[in-house]
Amino acid sequence: MPHILIAEDDDLLRQLLDAALRPHFPQLTLVNNGLDALACVRKGGIDVLVTDWMMPGLDGIELIRRARAECSPAPFIIMSTVLGSNEARQHALRSGADDFLAKPSRPSAIRACIELATQRHASSQQSPVAWPAKRAPVSPTLPHATPPHLIVTIAASTGGPAGLHVLFDDPTVPGDCAYLVALHGPEWMYQSMAEALRRSSPLRIELAEDGMASSPGTVYFACKNRHLVLDTALRMRFSDAEPEHFLRPAADPLFRSAARVLGRHALCVVMTGMGRDGLAGSVDIAAAGGVVLVQDPITAVVGSMPSAVIDAGLATEIVPLTLLARSLTRHAAAWRGLNSHAPHADDTLIYKAPFVER
């Protein structure tokens, strides 16, 4: 039975939430300030935290940051506030919130958001998967010897908006790669992320469209509540396949398609996030001979996604967040040098950096 914590300083709203939610979530705790909420989270056992922004003692943003920094594992966190601007939404997500609800919200919407959150949180707490050291090789279906440019696939979840800003705002991020990003979040977040990154990143920022061809120097976000995959013509396609890890878009379908189409040319990055999305797809990319870069969990807002890949022995390299752009630059330069002359598939190689011990 999931344990839900509500931090809300409005007495009437707290009573309404109690009446609306307790029949569905018997383990429901309500507090009227951020300090009491933090104390509850510190005790452990909280699966989902729904917090207001403006509260006495400790506001919702600081509550989120401290819960992430001080509590492991931290609960799934939903910010619920009347501050509904894109800037407020981005600020909450970059501070470590998993989802955002603008007030006023119907009880049914709050309940649905909490139910999805409990499913995702339960999935993230499952026992680690032990992958065999030897994996069956994946044969690429790319009809050409080598793709025209390096395509980087990226998985990110909790803490992803802030992490992606660090990566894509870095002037050293290679401008001759295409980046396909599966970022977990509500649909509104993708447009908001794109607008924010366009103001700060040296790269072009786009929302993916079905049938679109990737171009170097461009970041494409999966969106429209559909999985993003690559086809054999290196075009982006939307998939209506079932959610994976209770998520759509998820990174695993994207990674699997990259392994299938690109083979040893595939390069994926698993960044901060709750759960294990990206793990199964990293298995395929590693089996294809591709590169699996993993954000150092120490630098992640939530480290379970990168840790899952590391624990499975799949990481080609473990990289602190602030060095991800430089690592990609090094891999891209080596890939260009080893593949620019190769007319046949048998001659193609991709650079494999040594595993970095921390």
| Structural domain contains residue 144 | no
| Structural domain contains residue 133 | no
**92/208 same-domain check:** no
**235/116 same-domain check:** no
**114/157 same-domain check:** no
**83/156 same-domain check:** no
What's the CATH code of the domain at 12? 3.40.50.2300
**94/226 same-domain check:** no
| Structural domain contains residue 138 | no
**82/33 same-domain check:** yes
| Structural domain contains residue 270 | yes
| Longest Cα separation, the chain | 70
Domain that holds residue 335: 150-347
**340/263 same-domain check:** yes
| Structural domain contains residue 304 | yes
**248/286 same-domain check:** yes
Nearest to 274 by CA among 155, 133, 180, 181: 155
Report pTM: 0.80
| Structural domain contains residue 107 | yes
- pLDDT value at position 345? 36
Instruction: Count how many Cα atoms sit within 13 Å of the Cα of residue 340 in the half-sphere of its side chain.
Output: 6
Total of domains in the chain:
2
CA dihedral 47, 184, 279, 232 (to 10 degrees): 160
CA dihedral 186, 191, 197, 202 (to 10 degrees): 130
**190/317 same-domain check:** yes
**43/77 same-domain check:** yes
- pLDDT value at position 109? 87
What's the CATH code of the domain at 222? 3.40.50.180
Task: Give yes or no for a contact between 175 and 329, defined as CB atoms under 8 angstroms apart.
Answer: no
- pLDDT value at position 134? 45
Angstrom distance (rounded) from CA 51 to CA 62: 11
Alpha helices in the chain (DSSP H): 11-21, 34-43, 60-70, 86-94, 107-124, 160-169, 187-198, 251-262, 279-287, 304-311, 324-339
Distance of CA 78 to the CA centre of its chain: 16
Residues labelled as active-site residues? 157, 184, 277
Task: Give yes or no for a contact between 66 and 59, defined as CB atoms under 8 angstroms apart.
Answer: no
Domain boundary among 124, 158, 184: 124
| Structural domain contains residue 43 | yes
Residue-level pLDDT, tens digit, the chain, 358 residues: 899 999 999 999 999 999 999 999 999 999 999 999 999 999 999 999 999 999 988 999 999 999 998 987 889 999 999 887 888 888 888 888 888 888 888 888 899 889 988 887 766 655 455 454 445 445 555 544 588 999 999 999 988 999 999 999 999 999 999 999 999 988 888 988 899 999 999 999 999 999 999 999 999 999 999 999 999 889 999 999 999 988 899 999 999 999 999 999 999 999 999 889 999 999 999 999 999 999 999 999 888 899 999 999 999 999 999 999 999 999 999 888 877 654 333 333 344 444 444 4
- pLDDT value at position 119? 80
**295/194 same-domain check:** yes
- pLDDT value at position 332? 93
| Structural domain contains residue 11 | yes
Domain boundary among 124, 141, 173: 124
What's the token pair of residue 161?
């908006």
**106/182 same-domain check:** no
